[in-house]
Amino acid sequence: MTSSSKIVRIGGASGFWGDSMVAAPQLVKGGRLDYLVFDYLAETTMAILAAARAKQPELGWATDFVDIAMKPVLGEVKRQGIKVISNAGGINPHGCAAALQAMAEAEGIALRIAVVEGDDIGAQMPAVRERGIQDMFSGEALPEKVLSANAYLGAAPIAAALAAGAEVVITGRCVDSAVTLGPLMREFGWTHDDFDLLASGSLAGHIIECGCQATGGLHTDWEEIPDWANIGYPIVECHADGSFVLIKPEGTGGKVVRAAVAEQLLYEIGDPGAYLLPDVSCDFREVVIEQQGENRVRVSPAKGRPPTPSYKVSATQQGGYRCAGSLVIVGIDAEKKARRTAEAIIERTGRILRESGQPPFTSTYIEVIGAESLYGPHACTRASREVMMRVVANHPQKAALAMFAREIAPAGTSWAPGTTGPGGGRPSVSPLIEPFSFLLEKEAVPVAFVLDGERHAVPVPAGTGDGVAPDVPTPSPWIDPDEPMEEVRLIQLAWARSGDKGNLSNIGLVARRPEWLPLLWERVTPDAVGAYFAHLVHGKVERFYLPGIAAMNLLLHDALDGGGPSSMRMDPLGKGMGQMLLDMRIKVPRSLAAGL
């Protein structure tokens, strides 16, 4: 094949730590792959790994990668010559590599494993703190004691390790899309200043980094997605010009459709004109997504600009302890009984703390699942006759929360009629691991990979970008026709998907028909969205336009009660925000409403 006709096939086998064990075997068996990639590391996952390493120093990596994902397929991966890239190394990539190497040797398989180093900057934290560097979101000073601190590395060390002959590359913290971009840099010879190509390869990685979310998972029109139990995992067929086609293995469930891919493009991004990665500043606004046939969607190349001079660092600290308990309440006025029950638990345990001379709870939180607590003033099931009371408390001392856990069960015989529970005993007390983030100059983070016992430094250009997107025109103004208006739900006009970045929630909204985008732009304004979510969102709402897919991205600040493991909500990652917004009602011309 010539370079222009060459196709590189990459399968995405994991969207998070805990994804299905069917993914890797399915892709290896039916994917005809060049590369198999795994993404394990969300910010919440890093907090979990930090807690695990604090208990056992040999842990701190995603153990599922070796035992669940790789063991069933390693022989076939070797036979087919499939290369594997994974960020399962977490905060202990050498531990992950050693476990994989031991498993391969036990099965008589020779395997060259490279480990990417440099992301762990924990040793630098005292110096970083002395420099006065602050949290990039809150502006607060960095804590004196941290559990972990890891820079989000890019794809350059992965590409370099593959060029050196690695069959498996294990990284610590890198951006999710780097496990896909690295192979493409290696295969197509893309260099550090091929910014449009790097942005396009990063987009390919972004589309498959969450597994089945690209093949119909979480799609707004979920009823149209068949055979969930056998859903296919995503494969990208990548071309040298940066374009790619998304498919899935033949004979699998799910569905590769334009709308779901557009939703995934918007998932967990901020400004789509300045999606900042270590290798490139991406501009996805003009990207076009087209259905090419059944279960085939083509994505056009993206635009790119120089990256910024800094890495984002994701760090964790222990902020005390947390306990979350629940009870089921059945019968008339179940929601009211549940709230009074939770309030009584907090009042009683708070008094016990006071009387014993202990400090009060750091914070408490009450939710009633089944009564649409998250919907706030938009709830319509307050009269539900079966709900789950959820009560959460934080405290500096583990013993205080052990008492709190004990005092939940007595509600079953003391207060509201119809109080019961699904069993399972007392709730557990767990460390409260809180994430924080800051920026650190790339020149302060030496990057390398280790292969066959040798360490190879990888030069990473500092980056000259400013991280600011050039302006694009807004949609054409919408002018209401001279006819009556009717209210419709937003879901009739748009698809949506939501996610998180720390304490920010983003909602991507894609017009079902491109000609409806001006109407949506007129009605779904930052002010309107802020008012709709006023009970949850305590910061500003930003809005960005993507003409290529007739969409907007809404960025909601201070929206998730701290986000990730810091949040006390049942939806700490904002997964439900898009679904709630689709319930919002807007006015449309009667002629348009009649055709919906």
Q: Is 22 helix (H, G, I), strand (E, B) or coil?
A: coil
Tell me how far apart the alpha carbons of residues 539 and 572 are, in angstroms, rounded to a whole number: 16
What integer pLDDT is reported at residue 328 of this predicted model? 97
Tell me how far apart the alpha carbons of residues 84 and 74 are, in angstroms, rounded to a whole number: 10
Radius of gyration of the chain (CA): 25
Q: Are 177 and 202 in contact (CB under 8 A)?
A: yes
Please determine, for residue 358, whether its predicted confidence score (pLDDT) is greater than 60: yes
CA distances from 533 to 275, 395, 505, 530 (A): 25, 29, 11, 5
Phi first, then psi, for residue 346 (nearest 5°) are -65, -40
Tokens of 283: 């501009």
Model's pTM, two decimal places? Answer: 0.96
Tokens of 166: 């690695």
**What is the chain's length?**
596
CA distances from 225 to 20, 211, 294 (A): 18, 15, 13
Q: What is the pLDDT of residues 562-583, one digit of tens each?
A: 998 899 999 999 999 999 999 9
Tell me how far apart the alpha carbons of residues 531 and 377 are, in angstroms, rounded to a whole number: 11
What integer pLDDT is reported at residue 55 of this predicted model? 82
Q: What is the pLDDT of residues 403-449, one digit of tens each?
A: 999 999 999 999 999 999 877 789 999 999 888 999 999 999 999 99
Tokens of 293: 């046939």
Kind of pairing between the strands at 419-420 and 244-247:
unpaired
Please determine, for residue 311, whether its predicted confidence score (pLDDT) is greater than 50: yes
Could you say which DSSP state residue 508 is in? E
CA distances from 447 to 156, 157, 307 (A): 9, 7, 17
Tell me how far apart the alpha carbons of residues 150 and 142 are, in angstroms, rounded to a whole number: 14
What integer pLDDT is reported at residue 304 of this predicted model? 98
Tell me the DSSP string of 52-112.
HHHH-TT--S-THIIIIIITTTHHHHHHHT-EEEE-TTTT-HHHHHHHHHHHHHHTT----
- Average pLDDT, integer, range 273-281: 98
Tokens 């979480």 locate to 218
Tell me how far apart the alpha carbons of residues 374 and 370 are, in angstroms, rounded to a whole number: 10
Q: What angle do CA 505, 510, 514 make, to 5 degrees?
A: 155
Please determine, for residue 2, whether its predicted confidence score (pLDDT) is greater than 70: no
Q: Are 546 and 553 in contact (CB under 8 A)?
A: yes
Average pLDDT taken over every residue of the chain: 96
Tell me how far apart the alpha carbons of residues 589 and 596 are, in angstroms, rounded to a whole number: 11
The pLDDT > 90 percentage for the chain reads 91
List of residues 6+ apart from 578 with CB closer than 8 A = 220, 496, 497, 498, 507, 508, 509
Amino acid letter for position 257: V
202-223 burial code (b ≥16 CB/10 A, e <16): bbbbbbbbbbbbbbbbbbbeee
Phi first, then psi, for residue 460 (nearest 5°) are -120, 115
Q: Is 520 helix (H, G, I), strand (E, B) or coil?
A: helix
- Average pLDDT, integer, range 3-31: 94
Q: Are 290 and 297 in contact (CB under 8 A)?
A: yes
CA atoms within 13 A on the CB side of 62: 28
Q: Is 219 helix (H, G, I), strand (E, B) or coil?
A: coil
List the beta bridge partners of residue 487. 587
Phi first, then psi, for residue 389 (nearest 5°) are -80, 130
What integer pLDDT is reported at residue 206 of this predicted model? 98
Tell me how far apart the alpha carbons of residues 536 and 367 are, in angstroms, rounded to a whole number: 13
SS3 of 118-167: CCECHHHHHHHHHCCCECCCCCCECCCCCCEEEECECCHHHHHHHHCCCC
User: Alpha helices, DSSP H only, in 278-373?
Assistant: 334-355
H-helix or E-strand spanning residue 317: strand 310-330
List the beta bridge partners of residue 437. 314
CA distances from 40 to 58, 89, 222, 456, 505 (A): 18, 9, 25, 25, 20
Tell me the DSSP string of 35-67.
EEEE----HHHHHHHHHHHHH-TT--S-THIII
Sign of CA dihedral 52, 57, 61, 67: negative
Q: What is the pLDDT of residues 475-526, one digit of tens each?
A: 999 999 999 999 999 999 999 999 998 899 999 999 999 999 999 999 999 9
SS3 of 382-421: CCCCEEEEEEEEEECCHHHHHHHHHCCCCHHHHCCCCEEC
List the beta bridge partners of residue 455. 450
pLDDT band at 3 (very low <50, low <70, confident <90, very high): low
Amino acid letter for position 4: S
List of residues 6+ apart from 106 with CB closer than 8 A = none
Q: Is 232 helix (H, G, I), strand (E, B) or coil?
A: coil
